[in-house]
Amino acid sequence: MPYFESTTDHTRLHFVDYGPANGPVIAFVNSSYLSTEMWEYQMLPLAAEGFRCVGLDRRGHGRSEDVWGGFDLDTLAGDLGSLLDHLDLLDVTLVGHSFGTVEVVRHLALDGGERVARAVLVSGVAPGPARSSDHAEGLDPQFIRAFNETFQQDRAKFFADGADAFFARHLPGPAVSDAYVAHMVDLCGGATARAGTALNDLLPSLNLVPELAKIDCPVLVVHGSADASAPLHLTGGRAAALIPGATLHVYENAGHGLFATHADRLNEDLRAFARS
């Protein structure tokens, strides 16, 4: 089972590396709570088609080391950069989902994207959902803090209660089975309480507007119109407007978990964009 040590603080992180070593590289960055297993409907078919698909389990997630520190954005982005360096990857298409988009954006800001040719923000929380001086329509930070307190009181209930909305199962469109939803709820429990809480605590003050405006590589923003976890107008729509030259693809009736419900459409977008 492959591991490497992050150059940020020597935390031991698990990673996957699928497909041919000489294939076009797509690097996946996971959502909060989830591991690289969330990308099974992307990594497996794309690797079978000749893409090299890599990704890491964030610290405190999946099979990576459970640690107390290192949940600031610079360290998390540094962990991602450490993986790209460890595998000596070039011309990378960097794909982040949800909180993973935050790490993608910060990595591009810190590293200059020397190894990254293009980026995809899927159901992202970047630039941040909270109200700020340049985002008067955002959510009250205190509301987000109260949401986080609910998470801390009963994580298992939080994951189970939110699963149907996560996949927008109340709306017409591609369906996921009850068994798959239960499996994903179980996977969320693979993140430690410390890791999940630490990431949530970043949200009330998250503001990546300056970083987004400076991105100079091609960016595709993919978002669901019915995303309850990261509403389009607060997150993906703003990101697409702030990033110079970004392309926005909105999936009608898709929720936050469109990587599963709309896997075929997402894969088609990833194929085309990674080859561009």
Q: pLDDT tens across 79-123, in order?
A: 999 999 999 999 999 999 999 999 999 999 997 778 999 999 999
**pLDDT for 1:** 65
Quick check: is 256 catalytic? yes
**pLDDT for 138:** 87
Q: Per residue in 204-229, pLDDT tens?
A: 999 999 999 999 999 999 999 999 99
Q: What Cα–Cα distance (Å) separates residue 9 from each residue in 12, 13, 52, 54, 159?
A: 9, 11, 27, 21, 30
**pLDDT for 133:** 81
The residue ranges of the chain whose pLDDT is under 50 are none
Q: What is the CA radius of gyration of the chain?
A: 17
Catalytic: which of 107, 227, 229, 269?
227
**pLDDT for 186:** 96
Quick check: is 82 catalytic? no
CA 243, chain centre distance (Å): 17
Q: Which residue has the tokens 């307190």?
A: 149
Catalytic: which of 107, 223, 256, 262?
256
Measured between its terminal Cα atoms, the distance across the chain in Å is 32
Catalytic: which of 98, 107, 262, 269?
98
Which residues, listed in sequence order, are joined to residue 221 by a DSSP beta bridge?
A: 121, 248
Quick check: is 88 catalytic? no
Q: What Cα–Cα distance (Å) separates residue 149 from each residue in 67, 153, 198, 272?
A: 21, 6, 12, 41
> CA torsion sign, 76 to 77 to 78 to 80?
positive
Torsion angle of C-alpha atoms 89, 94, 99, 102, degrees rounded to 10:
90
**pLDDT for 244:** 96
**Backbone φ and ψ of 81, nearest 5°:** -60, -35
> CA torsion sign, 62 to 64 to 69 to 75?
negative
As a whole number of angstroms, the distance between CA 119 and CA 105 comes to 9
Please tell me the number of Cα atoms within 13 Å of 231 on its side-chain side.
7
Q: In what order do the strands lie in the sheet with 116-122?
A: 3-5, 12-18, 52-56, 25-29, 92-97, 116-122, 219-224, 247-251
